[in-house]
Structure 1
């Protein structure tokens, strides 16, 4: 057992602390090649990860880089630097800590390469760039440890794949390097351990005491939630009362656009002028920094935010979390709940605010899952090859390399343990020539073999361009928004597609303010103070789909026979559904058919997520056309697909037959915008499309035009091109979510309950309120929508 040095024990004592068992366990295993620590929020994970480093450097403060800390957020790295200074200064330790992110000045970055700090805090993208320099072996010469914080968040995206390739490169430079992963929410610890460690080493897993159960409730407002929609405006006054009763409240909302809308509604109802702010990724960095500083200072009572504040930053005295809208994912809910009472053995306090009636069910299912310590998560796919292509180009920037050595190095990364040599060689060939259809173009001839049989950049000057385009986050193209006059102060950014629809005098919301569009100057949207009712800026953000596990739990709740935890209006809704039709059953699919006016409606309760059910809608309506059933349109939610047409569906099983379903989808996808969008992302990551060049940047329209031409060219002349292979796989798994369709059909196996209802059913009625919905805001529109909803619910027997 490694005893905590006396000076550290004394410092712990001055703060009234004792070393936690999991911190001691990690200290005892300081020399283990790889360790994964799973500990609750506020349980001292970060200090546990750094204790071995602080002790080692206190005893032997050698110059050079000792420990590398990697986090998913720039703000998290900056927060850790502030927190580390406390023990360093209190113990008078000769340790230099610095961060290196996209916000770090060029002067400081250059100095860090020549004189690295003892502890460097960074992000996956910045680490990839640092490794691309020829002096990387010198920079990392003394590296002993790598600490990966919030590793679960990185493992869910290509940023994690990129990071593991970087760690594999570091392991080659520093064979004795040790890895530590930190997380609070892990559904499958062994799988995450395999992701972290170099193949085929084992990963030691330490699980801390989870602490007290969180205090979670669902808001049951006197005003029932609406039948459809995601705004939760009905609960604004209830949320304000909760904010009044807490010190600091984080109000999480799933999308940026809804965060803007809810913040404005909250501010309009804020008669007490409580200090409430807005925080999301499309706001100007200056605005986000201001909000974060105010949170640390404890001067805010509430912050409406998106996933930008999900992760483990210690934001002052947050003692309440409010989740507006269904969380869609149990693990995400647990992560967000942990932002409140950020202390070990203090229960987190959270309130879920359903945005509509169906979300009451989803919120209840999620709450029960949290109480049972059940987390969701999809199995990780194999590491994507577009990230390998980017890694190869970056490796070439650092100097000549041997292909076989690099292949074995890549195979050491957990996500790429099964990468075949032919697949690696295809990536290398693409990096060298662009592939069969593009090899005649000089711009894609990027690598060459030198006389020593090593691969190197064909033109060393291309290294700058490659570094400028590092990353696996392909942002939706945006334009900066600035005040006209006022020194041109920045407000944030909006999507290029939305900006293209604006004409002078149009108003929209950004940063909780109504602004008036005055024009576009030098690719910057200029605005003044707006006064009329706004349009809403359309932020892409992340459109969450309800997880498979949460969907399964919703079905189980419907069939539990115990609805006592649900509000009376929801119980009544389900009871009438049973009278008019039936409830969806586990392992079966409920399909309802009914006539409304001159239209035949068919509702498929698939519980497979919005993306998957939208895709199913395309496939089923195509089959309906072939069968002469004349479909007119469809709408999908996370739980159901509603199709309307001129003829009734008599045999829904035939429309859902899995036979030839994939072939039909791939044929439809080939010339679809979904596939082109996926291709643009893949081609950008792999380096085929270069968006950032020294002194200039392509607009989104230019990049889209270039990628569409390339896609059409490859589809015609090289349909088996590496990037098209990657694109097909990603489109099927992400934007189209075909895997969940296959999972749904496998689960159902033709067991369909077809109900021919006498009229619109209670469970399908909210779907009709989604049909053709256009987000226009104003009192008249709101009143008309309320009248339409009331009439529809009376028809369904609910009013």
Structure 2
């Protein structure tokens, strides 16, 4: 049995602690090639990952880099450095610990390469950059362990693909390198283990005691949720009561724009002046750091935030999590819940606040999934080839390489284990020539084949440009926002497209403040404070999550119950009436409802395939309807349904849903659509075809779009089989278009389609009529008018409110 050095045991004893069983297991099995530790938040998983390294380094006998820690967030790397310093300093261990991120000064980065610390904390992008230097073999020569924290987060993105490729490079430099993955939320441990291990080596999975179940429930409010919308403004009084009753509350939102709007509304209602902050990725770094420091010091009662606070950062004394809006994904919800009571064997406390009536159902489904520990997640498929192209260029920047050896190295990365040599060679040829249509242009001839069989950069000076463009995170083309005047305070960033829509005098929200747009000067948006009560909201791109496949299926299964005692009365009444006048969606079947309204025929398709897929389905169905003479006029989509309105009713829906016909329609639509150009731009930037960062300056979003559009049109016309077009189509199908969810839906329903025709709006369809873009209501009395429209529609659907509580009841 592996034992801790005595001074470690003494230190644990002095703290009144005992080593946890999973920490002891990690110590005992430290010599295995790869270990995946799944431990609850607050369970000491980070220390478990580092204990073998600290023990190895405690005698001071190791020179150079021993352990590399990789985090998805710069802030998390800084937080871990702070936390690691405590045992190292208190035990007097001779261990140097440093972090290296985009915020690290250039002088320190240069020194770290020449004289690396024992433990280096970094991010996937900084790791990829380190492997691109000629001296990488010397810097990593003594590396023993790599620790990947929050591995579930990285495994779901191209950042993770890049990191795993970088690990394959490190493993080639250090054959005995040990790999460790840490996470609290893994829905498929074997899939993550496959990614973490050096293929085909095994990866052991260690499951810690999960600890007590979280205390999670829906927030009880005096007012029922509205029928549509995403702001949850109705719940602000109840949320403020919870904030007052707890030490520190994190109030999570799914998008930055929603967080900004909610922060504005909660501040207007904050009559007691409770200290509340806001934190998201578009805020100025100094403002984020100020909020973070205030959290650590316990100066804030609440923080309105987004995914920037999802992961394992231990900010202050957080004892309550509030999720505004349906979580869309159970795994994300569990991760967020873990931010509260960040201690082992202390139950996390969380409240869900549905933004509208349908989200009540999703929130209850998510609560049940959490209680059953049923996490969700969809398989990502093979490793993306645009990331592989970038990796080949990174390897070339470090020096000459052998293609055969590099291919053998790449397929040790789990996501690329099925990569064929033909696919690899196509990526290599692209990096060397740009592809058939671009061979005549020197700027894309980046590699050359030497007489000795090795590949190298055609121009060694291009290494600098490769390094400047490393990374897979796609910028949202943002502009800095500052207060007007010399030395104006920076506020953050807004999207370039949103800035272009502003005219002097327009107001918008940023950092919780209403500001007025004055001018655009030297690529900076200049603003002044404004006392307006209702701003024009900054449309931060953020991430618009789609409800997961597993959660969607769980909702459909909920519909099959005889009654719903766990749902609030207003929601169970709504579903009961739907069952009485029509029917509810069923597993393995597709429900379509048809009804007239305002002189138009409306068709509601309840596909439950997620917002992106339902949006694509709406486009494809309306095209098919147009081709068959049904005269559609428009459509809208939610996570659960697509509503199409037009002149003629659908009598036979089956032909509209033939998967081959939908696929053909998608191909025709994608051929000249902006989605393909947007996807091409992202993949071409990652693959190195388009350079965003240049030694002299940086391209603006419009410049990059212009050049990528020209390239896309050129390749489409002259080289339709070009590698980048193939990659673009694959990425579009599983990204913005999400056609895979449509295919899953089609396979699930087969020919089992139920068309139910009505003479008026059904209860289940009524909320769709109130979605943004469907009800043209504008003006100062917008909220009142929308509420009146909601009452009119619900009355049409057969629901009437009880006079006292505005509770909607079934009239029978």
TM-score w.r.t. length of structure 1: 0.99
Query: Which residue number corresponds to residue 685 of structure 1?
Result: 686
Query: Which residue number corresponds to residue 312 of structure 2?
Result: 312
* Deviation string, structure 1 residues 126-153 (Cα, Å, up to 9, x no partner): 0000010000001001000000000000
**Relative to 1, partners in 2 of residues 1:346 and 1:486: Cα closer, same or farther, differing over 3 Å?**
farther
Q: Does 1:223 align with 2:223?
A: yes
After TM superposition, the structure 1 = structure 2 runs for residues 187-266 of structure 1, keeping only pairs within 5 Å, are 187-266=187-266
Distance 1:332 1:564 in 2: 26
Distance 1:247 1:727 in 2: 48
Query: Which residue number corresponds to residue 761 of structure 1?
Result: 762
Q: Does 1:87 align with 2:57?
A: no
Contact 1:99 1:120 in 2 (8 A): yes
Distance 1:399 1:450 in 2: 12
* Deviation string, structure 1 residues 368-421 (Cα, Å, up to 9, x no partner): 000001000101310000001000101111011111111111111111111111
State the SS of the aligned residue for 1:565: coil
Q: Does 1:7 align with 2:10?
A: no
| Structure 1 position 488, deviation (Å) | 2.1
Distance 1:734 1:489 in 2: 37
Moved more, 355-364 or 649-658: 649-658
| Structure 1 position 531, deviation (Å) | 2.1
* Deviation string, structure 1 residues 38-73 (Cα, Å, up to 9, x no partner): 000000000000000001000243220000000000
Query: Which residue number corresponds to residue 542 of structure 1?
Result: 543
| Structure 1 position 485, deviation (Å) | 2.3
Distance 2:798 2:14 in 1: 66
Contact 2:777 2:786 in 1 (8 A): no
After TM superposition, the structure 1 = structure 2 runs for residues 392-411 of structure 1, keeping only pairs within 5 Å, are 392-411=392-411
Distance 2:777 2:648 in 1: 32
Query: Which residue number corresponds to residue 562 of structure 1?
Result: 563
Distance 2:357 2:713 in 1: 44
Distance 1:31 1:562 in 2: 54
**Relative to 1, partners in 2 of residues 1:133 and 1:437: Cα closer, same or farther, differing over 3 Å?**
same
Q: Does 1:160 align with 2:160?
A: yes
Contact 2:131 2:398 in 1 (8 A): yes
Contact 2:220 2:238 in 1 (8 A): no
Distance 2:754 2:454 in 1: 63
| Structure 1 position 777, deviation (Å) | 8.3
* Deviation string, structure 1 residues 600-623 (Cα, Å, up to 9, x no partner): 011111000111111111111111
Distance 2:776 2:592 in 1: 29
Query: Which residue number corresponds to residue 805 of structure 2?
Result: none
| Structure 1 position 562, deviation (Å) | 3.4
Contact 1:535 1:777 in 2 (8 A): no
Distance 1:421 1:587 in 2: 40
Query: Which residue number corresponds to residue 804 of structure 2?
Result: none
Query: Which residue number corresponds to residue 730 of structure 1?
Result: 731
Query: Which residue number corresponds to residue 773 of structure 2?
Result: 772
| Structure 1 position 450, deviation (Å) | 2.4
Query: Which residue number corresponds to residue 338 of structure 1?
Result: 338
Distance 1:242 1:153 in 2: 30
State the SS of the aligned residue for 1:247: coil
State the SS of the aligned residue for 2:603: strand
Query: Which residue number corresponds to residue 142 of structure 2?
Result: 142
After TM superposition, the structure 1 = structure 2 runs for residues 495-534 of structure 1, keeping only pairs within 5 Å, are 495-532=495-532, 533-534=534-535
Query: Which residue number corresponds to residue 34 of structure 2?
Result: 34
| Structure 1 position 632, deviation (Å) | 0.3
After TM superposition, the structure 1 = structure 2 runs for residues 573-584 of structure 1, keeping only pairs within 5 Å, are 573-584=574-585
Distance 1:315 1:494 in 2: 26
Moved more, 581-590 or 542-551: 581-590
**Relative to 1, partners in 2 of residues 1:93 and 1:82: Cα closer, same or farther, differing over 3 Å?**
same
State the SS of the aligned residue for 2:217: strand
Query: Which residue number corresponds to residue 718 of structure 1?
Result: 719
Moved more, 80-89 or 532-541: 532-541
Distance 1:295 1:772 in 2: 39
* Deviation string, structure 1 residues 90-118 (Cα, Å, up to 9, x no partner): 00000000000000010000000010000
Distance 1:220 1:563 in 2: 17
| Structure 1 position 656, deviation (Å) | 1.3
| Structure 1 position 793, deviation (Å) | 1.1
**Relative to 1, partners in 2 of residues 1:775 and 1:48: Cα closer, same or farther, differing over 3 Å?**
farther
Query: Which residue number corresponds to residue 271 of structure 1?
Result: 271
Distance 2:778 2:760 in 1: 31
Query: Which residue number corresponds to residue 358 of structure 2?
Result: 358
Distance 1:44 1:572 in 2: 46
* Deviation string, structure 1 residues 258-306 (Cα, Å, up to 9, x no partner): 0000001111111111111000000000011111111111111100000
Q: Which runs of 5+ in 1 are unaligned?
A: none
Query: Which residue number corresponds to residue 810 of structure 2?
Result: none
| Structure 1 position 452, deviation (Å) | 2.3
Q: Does 1:172 align with 2:172?
A: yes
* Deviation string, structure 1 residues 617-675 (Cα, Å, up to 9, x no partner): 11111111111110000111000111100011111122112233212211210110111
* Deviation string, structure 1 residues 489-520 (Cα, Å, up to 9, x no partner): 21000000000011111111000000111101
State the SS of the aligned residue for 1:137: helix
Contact 1:63 1:118 in 2 (8 A): yes
* Deviation string, structure 1 residues 536-590 (Cα, Å, up to 9, x no partner): 0011110100000000000111112230011110011111111221111111111
Contact 1:275 1:302 in 2 (8 A): yes
Q: Which runs of 5+ in 2 are unaligned?
A: 801-812
* Deviation string, structure 1 residues 728-765 (Cα, Å, up to 9, x no partner): 01111111111110110111111112111121011111
Query: Which residue number corresponds to residue 631 of structure 1?
Result: 632
Query: Which residue number corresponds to residue 413 of structure 1?
Result: 413
Distance 1:565 1:778 in 2: 38
Contact 1:39 1:210 in 2 (8 A): yes
Contact 2:590 2:607 in 1 (8 A): yes
Query: Which residue number corresponds to residue 651 of structure 2?
Result: 650
State the SS of the aligned residue for 2:473: coil
Query: Which residue number corresponds to residue 614 of structure 1?
Result: 615
Distance 2:193 2:416 in 1: 14
Query: Which residue number corresponds to residue 75 of structure 1?
Result: 75
* Deviation string, structure 1 residues 329-371 (Cα, Å, up to 9, x no partner): 0000000000000000000000000000000000000000000
Contact 2:60 2:95 in 1 (8 A): no
Contact 1:254 1:306 in 2 (8 A): yes
Moved more, 657-666 or 261-270: 657-666
Equivalent residues, number: 799
State the SS of the aligned residue for 2:640: coil
Q: Does 1:327 align with 2:327?
A: yes
Distance 2:493 2:104 in 1: 21
Distance 1:603 1:518 in 2: 44
After TM superposition, the structure 1 = structure 2 runs for residues 439-454 of structure 1, keeping only pairs within 5 Å, are 439-454=439-454
Contact 2:60 2:94 in 1 (8 A): no
State the SS of the aligned residue for 2:605: strand
| Structure 1 position 769, deviation (Å) | 0.8
* Deviation string, structure 1 residues 149-193 (Cα, Å, up to 9, x no partner): 000000000011100000000001001110000000001111110
Moved more, 342-351 or 531-540: 531-540
Distance 2:778 2:323 in 1: 23
Q: Does 1:494 align with 2:494?
A: yes
| Structure 1 position 771, deviation (Å) | 5.3
Query: Which residue number corresponds to residue 600 of structure 2?
Result: 599
| Structure 1 position 784, deviation (Å) | 1.5
Contact 1:165 1:410 in 2 (8 A): yes
Distance 1:351 1:246 in 2: 12
Q: Does 1:479 align with 2:482?
A: no
Moved more, 660-669 or 274-283: 660-669
Query: Which residue number corresponds to residue 751 of structure 1?
Result: 752
Distance 1:339 1:673 in 2: 39
| Structure 1 position 451, deviation (Å) | 3.2
Distance 1:486 1:346 in 2: 50
Distance 1:567 1:226 in 2: 13
Contact 1:145 1:179 in 2 (8 A): yes
Query: Which residue number corresponds to residue 784 of structure 2?
Result: 783
State the SS of the aligned residue for 1:488: coil
| Structure 1 position 779, deviation (Å) | 4.3
